[in-house]
Amino acid sequence: MSQDSVTDVDLDHALAAQKQYDNNIESPPKDEEEQPPVVQQPVNTLVQTVGNRPFHISLHTVHNLQLFILTFPRGLTLLMSPSDPKRPTANGVAQLDVHRKFLPTFGKYLHWITFTFQGTGNNVKAQIMLPTRLEAACNLIQGGASACFINCPFRVPRRPQTNKRRILRAVRS
């Protein structure tokens, strides 16, 4: 028997086993139907309240998408859709709660921040994105969600700095 035919037979057995498995999932045997369903333990979410932080509102266009941007101290940046009904209308203060949840199917943690705006009480949940994932954040916003970055994902223009040594040399000459 050639190696190709062994592979074909193995593939046929694997497909048949998969079909049998799929059929069992769709219609469990009668013994399983009589037993009460197994209750899975809820996945724990760690919530840490950071406190109240002031924010500044601005608009910015990225990848032909207009973004409503809230900038917090130390670079925390929330990106939202300008048409989001939960967005604040003026600069103000928001309470920040950081959430962390382990996703066993992926073997990873999901991190997000809940922003509660004082005055309106509106809550906005935003996934914390990696610094290089601005395009993915734009896709989330187009889909109606919000995204945030620990550090501002946009290039921050540097303030022009005067060189004191250059000024002193010019004065001495």
d(CA 149, CA 130): 7
In this structure, are 16 and 100 located in the same domain? no
pTM of the prediction?
A: 0.64
In this structure, are 76 and 16 located in the same domain? no
Nearest residue to 145 via CA among 130, 159, 127: 127
Q: Which domain holds residue 26?
A: 7-34
In this structure, are 57 and 92 located in the same domain? yes
pLDDT tens digits, one per residue of 80-110: 999 999 999 999 999 999 999 998 898 888 9
At 161 the pLDDT is 67
Residue 109 domain flag: yes
Residue 100 domain flag: yes
In the DSSP assignment, the letter for residue 35 is: S
At 17 the pLDDT is 44
Residue 113 domain flag: yes
Distance of CA 118 to the CA centre of its chain: 23
In this structure, are 25 and 104 located in the same domain? no
d(CA 156, CA 75): 10
Number of domains in the chain: 2
93 contacts: CB under 8 Å, gap ≥ 6: 52, 53, 54, 55, 117, 118
Find residue 94's DSSP bridge partners. 53, 117
In this structure, are 28 and 53 located in the same domain? no
In this structure, are 27 and 55 located in the same domain? no
Residue 108 domain flag: yes
Query: Do the strands 92-103 and 146-149 form a parallel or antiparallel pair, or are they unpaired?
Result: unpaired
Residue 101 CB coordination number (10 Å):
14
In this structure, are 130 and 93 located in the same domain? yes
Residues in the chain where the model's pLDDT stays below 50 = 1-33, 38-39, 41
In this structure, are 59 and 24 located in the same domain? no
In this structure, are 71 and 129 located in the same domain? yes
Q: Which single residue is written with the structure tokens 């593939």?
A: 11
| pLDDT more than 70, % of the chain | 64
Residue 20 domain flag: yes
Residue 166 domain flag: no
Find residue 147's DSSP bridge partners. 79, 127
